């Protein structure tokens, strides 16, 4: 099992760092899946995570100037590692003006992802900072736990409002309540509601637009028969929603959510070359 | 004692107080013939800092007359209170033209008076406590290794370590490569901790005099305080150190100001396990102000089994006077709490 990658371009490095920062805000520990063409950051819906799950996919060619990997075996040319994205975020934080950043899989006191940053210096030789991030290698027999989630059979799909606005609304609401109701209809309307003993607050968004899904099977028929005014709603943990929004440092190219009434809210965020899916289950 | 600081030196004084506030909770104010000395020590006696401002630093400097014992009056004040006066450095720079500090043994207050623009004067009357002499025993000449670098190089080096990191290991390897690595103590599981290491080449330093490969581990938090002072003063910083366990001395010097920071270093954890236990026990007992009998015993064991005498960072005036209470024995250098 081998992995070596190198980033030479400053813009790519900044972009990669932003992606890692977003992931670090969403998960304390997650799985990194490496394939010859893509990197995936995966969080499965275990009870420990509060039932949220995440799937983030990046094309390595958009970030790395060099990328070589050898998986566990020829037929299974992939590597699955468990790590704390916060460590990766910290390692990249002070590397923003680096000449090169190399990431490789090493075996020091334990399996590590070593990030070696070459920094400019006034002396003849560059300054090198290495960060050894401990990882756990996930054995092949557990790989099935990390399959790409399928798009759920949703009741309503709607584009999200400007995330910055949504973020500031949710942040204020977080001070008042632990849960928030997200509801939307096929008329491009979305409401965010909180209700406590003392106060209830609702923010209304209009003219958001509904994405045109083309699905096989009967599921699409039920959506087409649906009354456009009827709201599909789910009550979720407000902190999970706030974490998702706080992690978005740049406005995505496409942002939408699919609501399965009273069951789950599925977010899809597409930012240039990064594809992020995030699931927040409804509270009982 | 009476002294007056004017112009840009007010900000320098303010920055010194900020650096000292990272060390201890009390500020020791000690006028001497050679200038005004401001000192601080941390509760576990593993960090000591001293800023000596020469008489020329001041527009006016009067040390005051010696008392009946031939000593100049000295006192200590709460760091929090003194720091509050110099809290906002940008506003000190922009609006304060003069700072007057006066200490009259007969009065019960230390007076700090700031003269602002537009005729405003703020007078702070601080209560103080008389105190013993605060003096760490160290001699830079006895340290075998010296490194000297501009503060900028060191500031750029420590930025890669998290702000919360407690201890860092400074190592000099073959061919003069200087490395800084975060210290992971034995209790932490190595497979859970990220290790960061920075390598600097010899030519980033102004001076490297290290006769043999060596590594010392010291508290980064206290060092950062000095670094931010050094950065603003533009003076080169020298680091004097010796074998692990012996204190490391960080100093800045200029005709108007002399700064010393003395930090205890971790005794060598690569030594034999017996010595390791002894050193481990020593860390724990040095952290207590009062030694319980058991801890004193293990401290005594530590004295016997290690071949290198445990570092004496600290000697109180009592010991100098020859009083023999076991609890005022020279204390080993433990890690700061």
Number of domains composing chain A: 2
A119 and A160 fall within a common domain: no
Over residues A36-93, the pLDDT tens digits come to 999 999 998 776 667 889 999 999 999 999 999 998 888 889 999 999 999 999 999 9
Return the pLDDT at B316: 38
Closest Cα in chain A to B193: A134
Q: Is there a single domain that holds both residue A186 and residue A60?
A: no
Neighbouring C-beta atoms of residue A202, cutoff 10 Å: 12
Residues A88 and A114 in one domain: yes
pLDDT at B203: 85
Q: pTM above the 0.90 mark?
A: no
Within a domain: residue A107? Answer: yes
Higher pLDDT, B76 or B139: B76
Distance CA B316, CA B280 (A): 24
Identify the architecture of domain B140-282 in CATH: Box (3.70)
| B199 at A interface, C-beta within 8 A | yes
CB contact under 8 A, A132 and B195: yes
A122 or A84, greater pLDDT: A84
- Do residue A115 and residue A46 come from a single domain? yes
Å between A126 CA and nearest CA of chain B = 8
- Note whether A129 and A236 are same-domain residues: no
pLDDT above 90: residue B81: yes
Same domain, A16 and A96: yes
Instruction: Say if A74 falls within a structural domain.
Output: yes
Contact: A125, B160; criterion CB under 8 Å: no
Greatest alpha-carbon pair distance for chain B in Å reads 67
Reported confidence tier of residue A117, pLDDT bands at 50, 70, 90: very high
Average pLDDT, chain A: 89
* Statement: residue A248 has pLDDT above 90: no
What number is the average pLDDT over the span B122-138?
A: 86
**In this predicted complex, what is the ipTM?**
0.84
Q: Across chain B, what does the average pLDDT equal?
A: 78
The domain that holds A72 is classified in CATH as 3.70.10.10
Q: Which fold has domain B2-130?
A: Proliferating Cell Nuclear Antigen (3.70.10)
- Categorize the per-residue pLDDT at A223 as very low, low, confident or very high, splitting at 50, 70 and 90: low
pLDDT tens digit sequence for B272-322: 333 333 333 322 222 332 333 333 332 223 222 223 333 444 433 333 333
Which of these three, A145, A168, A193, is where a domain ends? A145
pLDDT of res. B104: 82
Q: A91 and B204: CB-CB below 8 Å?
A: no
Residue B269 pLDDT > 70, yes or no? no
User: pLDDT for A147-165, tens place per residue?
Assistant: 888 888 899 999 999 999 9
**Residue with the two structure tokens 């972009």:** A15
The reply to whether A87 touches chain B by the CB within 8 Å rule is yes
Q: Which of B163, B193, B195 to mutate to test the interface with A (most CBs of A within 10 A)?
A: B195
- Distant-in-sequence, close-in-space partners of B20: CB < 8 Å, separation ≥ 6: B27, B38, B39, B40, B49, B51, B79, B225
- Tell me the chain A residues in contact with residue B193 when contact means C-beta distances shorter than 8 Å: 134
* Residue A277 falls inside a structural domain: no
Higher pLDDT, A244 or B330: A244
Q: B163 in contact with A at a CB cutoff of 8 Å?
A: no
**What band does A226 get if pLDDT is binned at 50, 70 and 90?**
confident
Q: What is the pLDDT of residue A227?
A: 85
Residues in chain A: 284
Domain span at A43:
2-145
**In this structure, is residue A195 part of a structural domain?**
yes
Residue B100 has pLDDT above 80, yes or no: yes
Q: Determine, for residues A131 and B193 on separate chains, whether the beta-carbon distance falls below 8 Å.
A: no
In a domain, A68, yes or no: yes
pLDDT on residue A213: 83
Alpha-carbon span A106 to B200, nearest angstrom: 22
Provide the residue count of chain B.
Answer: 337
Among residues A145, A176, A196, the one where a domain terminates is A145
Is B175 in the A-facing interface, judged by CB distances under 8 Å? no
A134 and B190: CB-CB below 8 Å?
yes
B159 touching A (Cβ < 8 Å): yes
Label residue A121 by pLDDT band (50, 70, 90): confident
* CA distances from residue B234 to A127, B98, B143, B146 in whole angstroms, order as listed: 22, 23, 24, 19
Among A145, A165, A195, the domain boundary falls at: A145
Q: Is residue A262 part of a domain?
A: no
Interface with chain A: mutation pick from B154, B160, B183, B193, highest number of A CBs within 10 Å:
B160
CB B196 to CB A109 under 8 A?
no
What is the number of H-type helices and E-type strands within chain B? 8, 19
Q: Chain B: give the shortest CA distance to residue A91, in Å.
A: 8
Distance CA A100, CA A103 (A): 10
Contacts of range B100-106, beta carbons closer than 8 Å, 24 or more positions apart: B100/B2, B100/B3, B100/B4, B100/B5, B101/B1, B101/B2, B101/B3, B101/B4, B101/B5, B101/B36, B102/B1, B102/B2, B102/B3, B103/B1, B103/B2, B103/B29, B103/B31, B103/B64, B103/B73, B103/B75, B103/B128, B105/B64, B105/B67, B105/B73
In a shared domain, residues A48 and A134: yes
A128 with A163, same domain?
no
pLDDT value of residue B302: 26
Is residue A252 predicted with pLDDT exceeding 80? yes
> Between A208 and B132, where is the model more confident?
A208
Q: Does A79 touch chain B (CB under 8 A)?
A: no
Ordered by start, the domain boundaries in chain B are 2-130, 140-282
Q: What percent of chain B has pLDDT over 70?
A: 79
Is residue A198 a part of any domain in this protein?
Answer: yes
Identify all chain A residues contacting B203, using CB atoms and an 8 Å cutoff.
123-125
Whether A44 and A137 share a structural domain:
yes
Residues of A in contact with B195 (CB under 8 A): 108, 131-132
Same domain membership, residue A161 and residue A116: no
pLDDT for the residue B170: 93
**Per-residue pLDDT at B333:** 40
Does B258 or B186 have the greater pLDDT score?
Answer: B258
Test B194 with A133 for CB contact under 8 angstroms: yes
* Residue B282 confidence (pLDDT): 29
Backbone φ/ψ region at A186: left (φ over 0), alpha (ψ -120 to 50), beta: alpha
pLDDT of residue B314: 42
Distance from CA of B206 to the nearest CA of A (A): 11
Contacts with B, A 97-126, CB within 8 Å = 108-110, 121-125
Indicate if A141 and A161 belong to the same structural domain: no
User: Does any domain span residue A284?
Assistant: no
Could you read off the pLDDT of B140-182 as tens digits, one per residue?
Answer: 888 889 999 999 889 989 999 988 888 999 999 887 789 999 9
Q: State the average pLDDT over residues A129-142.
A: 93
- Least CA distance to A135: which residue of chain B? B191
Cβ-based contacts of B198 with chain A (< 8 Å): 127-130
More confident residue, A235 or B285: A235
Three-class HEC string of A231-256: CEEEEEEHHHHHHHHHCCCCCCCEEE
Of B190, B195, B204, nearest to A121 by CB-CB distance is B204
């Amino acid at each position: 099992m081998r992995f070596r990658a190198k980033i030479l371009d400053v813009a790519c490095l900044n972009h990669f760092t932003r992606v890692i920062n977003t992931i670090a805000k969403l998960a304390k520990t997650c799985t990194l899946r490496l394939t010859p063409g893509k990197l995936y950051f995966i969080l499965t819906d275990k009870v420990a995570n509060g039932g949220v799950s995440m799937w983030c996919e990046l094309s390595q060619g958009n970030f790395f100037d060099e990328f070589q990997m050898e998986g566990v075996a020829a037929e299974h040319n992939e590597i699955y590692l468990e790590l704390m994205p916060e460590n990766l975020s910290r390692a990249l934080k002070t590397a923003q003006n680096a000449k090169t950043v190399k990431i490789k899989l090493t075996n020091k006191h334990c399996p590590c992802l070593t990030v070696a940053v070459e920094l400019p210096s006034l002396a003849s030789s560059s300054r090198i900072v290495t960060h050894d991030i401990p990882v756990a290698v996930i054995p092949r027999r557990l790989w099935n736990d990390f399959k790409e989630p399928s798009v759920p059979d949703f009741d309503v799909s709607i584009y999200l409002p400007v995330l910055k606005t949504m973020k500031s609304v949710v942040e204020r609401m977080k001070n008042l309540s632990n849960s928030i109701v997200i509801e939307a209809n096929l008329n491009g309307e979305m409401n965010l509601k909180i209700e406590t003993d003392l106060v209830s607050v609702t923010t209304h968004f209009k003219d958001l637009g509904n994405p045109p899904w083309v699905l096989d099977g009967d599921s699409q028929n039920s959506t087409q028969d649906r009354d456009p005014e009827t709201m599909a709603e789910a009550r979720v943990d407000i902190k999970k929603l706030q974490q998702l929004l706080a992690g978005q440092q740049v406005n995505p190219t496409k942002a939408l959510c699919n609501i399965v009434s009273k069951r789950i809210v599925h977010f899809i965020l597409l930012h240039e070359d990064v594809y992020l899916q995030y699931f927040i289950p409804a509270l009982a | 004692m009476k002294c007056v600081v004017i112009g840009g030196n007010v900000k320098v004084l303010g920055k010194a107080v900020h650096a000292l506030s990272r060390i201890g909770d009390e500020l020791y104010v000690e006028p001497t013939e050679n200038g005004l000395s401001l000192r601080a020590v941390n509760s576990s006696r593993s960090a000591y800092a001293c800023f000596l401002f020469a008489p020329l630093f001041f527009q006016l400097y009067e040390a005051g007359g010696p008392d009946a014992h031939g000593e100049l009056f000295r006192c200590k004040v709460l760091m929090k209170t003194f720091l509050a006066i110099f809290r906002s450095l940008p506003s000190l720079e922009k609006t304060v033209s003069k700072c007057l500090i006066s200490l009259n043994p007969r009065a019960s207050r230390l007076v700090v008076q700031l003269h602002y623009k537009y005729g405003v004067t703020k007078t702070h009357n601080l209560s103080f406590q008389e105190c013993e002499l605060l003096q760490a025993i160290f001699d830079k000449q006895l340290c075998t290794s010296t490194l000297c670098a501009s503060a900028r190089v060191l500031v750029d080096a420590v930025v890669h370590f998290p702000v919360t990191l407690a201890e860092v290991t400074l190592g000099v390897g073959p061919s003069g490569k200087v490395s800084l690595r975060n210290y992971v103590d034995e209790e932490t599981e190595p497979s859970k901790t990220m290790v960061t290491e920075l390598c600097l080449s010899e030519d980033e330093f102004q001076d490297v005099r290290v006769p043999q490969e060596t590594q010392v581990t010291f508290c980064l938090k206290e060092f950062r305080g000095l670094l931010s002072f050094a950065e603003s003063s533009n003076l080169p910083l020298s680091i004097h150190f010796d074998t692990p366990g012996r204190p490391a001395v960080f100093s800045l010097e200029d005709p108007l100001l002399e700064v010393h920071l003395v930090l205890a270093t971790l005794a060598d954890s690569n030594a034999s396990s017996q010595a390791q236990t002894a050193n481990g026990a020593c860390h724990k007992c040095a952290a207590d102000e009062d030694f319980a009998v058991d801890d004193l015993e293990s401290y005594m064991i530590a004295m016997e089994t290690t071949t290198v005498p445990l570092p004496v960072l600290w000697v109180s005036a009592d010991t100098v006077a020859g009083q023999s209470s076991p609890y005022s024995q020279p204390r080993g250098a433990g890690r700061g709490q």
